[in-house]
Amino acid sequence: MSQRYPDWEREGKDWPNRAASHFVSTQGYRWHVQQMGRSADQAPTILLLHGTGAATHSWRDMMPLLAVDHHVIAVDLPGHGFTRPTFQRRVTLPAMAHSIADLMQHLDTQPDLIVGHSAGAAIGAQILLDHDWQVPLIGFTPALMPFPGLGAKIFPSLARVLFTNPFTAIIFSRMASRPGEAEKFLKRATGSDLDAAGLDYYGRLFRHSGHCDGAIRMMANWDLDTLSSRLTELRTPTLLLHAEKDKAIPQSSVLGAAERISDSVTQDMAALGHLAHEEDAEQAVRIIREFSALHL
């Protein structure tokens, strides 16, 4: 049986951009943080927030490209990857946003741009709503709205049921350990075609029940109804991107969120799935640079 959490010296021995990694302890967490690029006083700072079930590897190809003309920070979200809670934390959306803001204060920096993928976009929006950060937001396949139709009631409830079963994460991690299972799961859930390296990184994480528990705990405690109702309060420039083959976030959800944000635009990414920024990092970076040129 595998260890509960991924081990930095084993699963992380050849982790993408490992040379940029360090660990930071704040109240409640021991964070895995990656920083690279130009110094924060010489270039804009971009904060990258990954989605549910991922980690910093999600930005593996984008970070070096962005680092040419930015200071780039990426973190493993609470309970994900190599970030560990130092005591039991309830990972509601406002609580996670507060923890990220606290980490940034500990690092003595405030980003000039937040880029979030899926649930990471929701955390970014929550930070802007709850803290005095007047910075633009980019959401790749953003999870900002409740699930449509029956899913609005079924999926959050299912996550809570799974979370209360202590064996759920263990069972999932054991299933993910079977050859090819991680690839099948990602394809069904996201519609994305990842390269072998990308599949390997997800596989390393999925094999550990602690990482799986972090993802389930996150879904079980989130309230997207409240977040979506507050999107009208956002006043910063916002770009929301929909991917044509995304099986997780429908286009209607992205457009619905954009309608609520006064200063927002949407853009499509053709022939890509929910992990579009991993499938085509160069296009993702180009989109960020074009948006940054207008707003930074």
User: Between residues 268 and 5, which one has the greater pLDDT?
Assistant: 268
- Number of domains comprising the chain: 1
Let me know if residue 73 belongs to a domain: yes
User: Between residues 184 and 82, which one has the greater pLDDT?
Assistant: 82
Let me know if residue 28 belongs to a domain: yes
Let me know if residue 33 belongs to a domain: yes
Global pTM reads: 0.92
* CATH number of residue 32's parent domain: 3.40.50.1820
Let me know if residue 163 belongs to a domain: no
Let me know if residue 176 belongs to a domain: no
Report residue 243 CA to chain centroid gap: 16
For residues 28 and 89, the answer to whether their CB atoms sit within 8 Å is yes
Let me know if residue 106 belongs to a domain: yes
What six digits make up the tokens of 53? Answer: 């079930």
| Full domain range(s) for residue 128 | 18-145+225-295
Distance CA 211, CA 73 (A): 21
Distance CA 162, CA 153 (A): 15
Distance CA 293, CA 71 (A): 15
Position 175 scores a pLDDT of: 58
Let me know if residue 10 belongs to a domain: no
pLDDT above 70: percentage of residues in the chain: 87
Let me know if residue 205 belongs to a domain: no
- How many residues belong to the chain? 296
pLDDT digits (tens, 9 = 90+) for 218-247: 877 788 889 999 999 999 999 999 999 999
pLDDT digits (tens, 9 = 90+) for 164-193: 444 444 445 665 567 677 788 888 889 999
What six digits make up the tokens of 281? Answer: 């990092």
Please classify residue 26 by burial: count the beta carbons closer than 10 Å to its beta carbon, then call 0-12 exposed, 13-18 middle and 19+ buried. Answer: middle
